[in-house]
Amino acid sequence: HQQQIKHAGLPAVTRDNVPVAIAANIGSALEAPGAFANGAQGVGLFRTEMLYMDRDAAPDEQEQFEAYQQVLLSAEGKPVIFRTMDIGGDKQIPWLNIPQEENPFLGYRAVRIYPEFVELFRTQLRAILRAGASGNALLMIPMVHSLDQILWVKQELRNVQEALKAQGLRHTSHLPLGIMVEVPSVCFIIDHFCDEVDFFSIGSNDMTQYLYAVDRNNPRVSPLYNPITPSFLRMVRQIVTAAHRHGKWVGICGELAGECRYLPLLLGLGIDEFSMSGPRIPPVKTQLRQLESLACQALADNACECRSAEEIEELLTEFTPQEP
Ligand code: PEP
Ligand code: MG
């Protein structure tokens, strides 16, 4: 534990000095200082929908602005990725009065609800753009599955920016845009997305359920809910290869990102940024500093050729030093 605390302040690099970004997932402004104390180099996922939950009405622009600014100020110039509201699925908001659905995870959620609740979305964009003047803000859209969704978002963003300008309100004119990669269709058109966005972040929690059609919350199928399979790893490889070819970076921000055992594998696949809950950062950084990037690449190559999850686990057991 002492060693991990010490590592919180050390650079996130492999033993052969390859830098890797280690960032935090947060659900509120209150979580930010703890994340940075744990050594986060940024916020890789701010789940902003938490601001909309457990209340009777939407947070107004000022309330959001203050929460977002607070995170940017605690980040002291480090990057903060604001994921726009990921409402629906397992995160129901009663005051939106969205009718009950039979398959909420395949239903009306995240980016799909923005056109109907467009004023809500615009208010959030305004708050993020305004807060962005106080730090290094990035914007990330959840559950994108087709290019037209991101084109729609970009048009909205331009309109909101122009409105802020016309009002003379202080805001950032530089807000890099990314998408969550959590619906498999995206993987086949990464090149098209590269023309429109600046970065990608794999949401392994949802991607696992959508890749195999396995409900992430159904205990009956939980043995099938395993992101460490040949198909998942090959998919990650395809995403990273396509994005890197176009000079874009790829993060991962699901639970998988904080698992020391799988770090060598994901690193070997070329993931650039790992975002996880604050307490996972010190052990992951300690593990990272023991890894050799070339050995990780060879491991990932071998893992992609495995024919089962069990074979991959055997490779990892041979490879991985003890979890710190
Ligand atoms: C994910 O799907 O992996 C993710 C990070 O988003 P959430 O868990 O909030 O759906
Ligand atoms: Mg998700």
Q: What is the pLDDT of residues 189-213, one digit of tens each?
A: 999 999 999 999 999 999 999 999 9
Q: Above 60 in pLDDT, residue 11?
A: yes
If one residue of 25, 47, 87 were mutated to test the ligand 1 pocket, choosing by the most ligand atoms within 8 A of its CB, it would be: 47
Query: Which protein residues touch ligand 1 with a CB less than 6 Å away?
Result: 45, 47, 86, 182, 203-206, 253-254
Percentage above 70 pLDDT, the chain: 96
Distance 34 CA to ligand 2 centre (A): 23
Q: What is the pLDDT of residues 104-119, one digit of tens each?
A: 999 999 999 999 999 9
Q: What is the pLDDT of residues 257-275, one digit of tens each?
A: 999 999 999 999 999 999 9
- Taking CA atoms only, the protein residue closest to ligand 1 atom 6 is 203
Average of per-residue pLDDT across 123-148: 98
Average of per-residue pLDDT across 274-299: 97
Ligand nearest to the CA of 255: 1
Closest ligand 1 atom, CA of 49?
Answer: 9
Give CA–CA dist 40/42, Å, rounded. Answer: 5
Closest ligand 1 atom, CA of 182?
Answer: 2
- Taking CA atoms only, the protein residue closest to ligand 1 atom 9 is 47
- Would you say 257 and 285 are in contact if contact means Cβ atoms under 8 Å apart? no
Q: Above 70 in pLDDT, residue 4?
A: no
In the block, residue with structure tokens 């071998």: 302
If one residue of 140, 180, 252 were mutated to test the ligand 1 pocket, choosing by the most ligand atoms within 8 A of its CB, it would be: 180
Average of per-residue pLDDT across 292-300: 98
Q: What is the pLDDT of residues 153-202, one digit of tens each?
A: 999 999 999 999 999 999 999 999 999 999 999 999 999 999 999 999 99
Distance 53 CA to ligand 2 centre (A): 16
Q: Above 60 in pLDDT, residue 13?
A: yes
Distance 203 CA to ligand 1 centre (A): 5
Q: Above 90 in pLDDT, residue 254?
A: yes
Give CA–CA dist 216/142, Å, rounded. Answer: 17
Provide the angle, in degrees to the nearest 10, between the axes of the packed helices 61-75 and 118-131.
40
Distance 9 CA to ligand 1 centre (A): 27
Average of per-residue pLDDT across 124-139: 98
Q: Of 52, 178, 54, 22, which is closest to residue 124 (Cα–Cα)?
A: 52
Q: Is 95 exposed, middle or buried (0-12, 13-18, 19+ CB in 10 A)?
A: exposed
Average of per-residue pLDDT across 17-25: 97
Distance 3 CA to ligand 2 centre (A): 32
Q: What is the pLDDT of residues 37-85, one digit of tens each?
A: 999 999 999 999 999 999 999 999 999 999 999 999 999 999 999 999 9
pLDDT of 3: 56
| Amino acid identity at 255 | E
Q: Above 50 in pLDDT, residue 322?
A: no
- Taking CA atoms only, the protein residue closest to ligand 1 atom 1 is 203
Distance 45 CA to ligand 1 centre (A): 9
pLDDT of 6: 58
What are the CA-CA distances from residue 150 to residues 123, 130, 220 (Å)? Answer: 18, 21, 35
Question: Residue 250 corresponds to which tokens in the numbers above?
Answer: 């790829």
| Amino acid identity at 218 | N
Mean pLDDT of the chain: 95
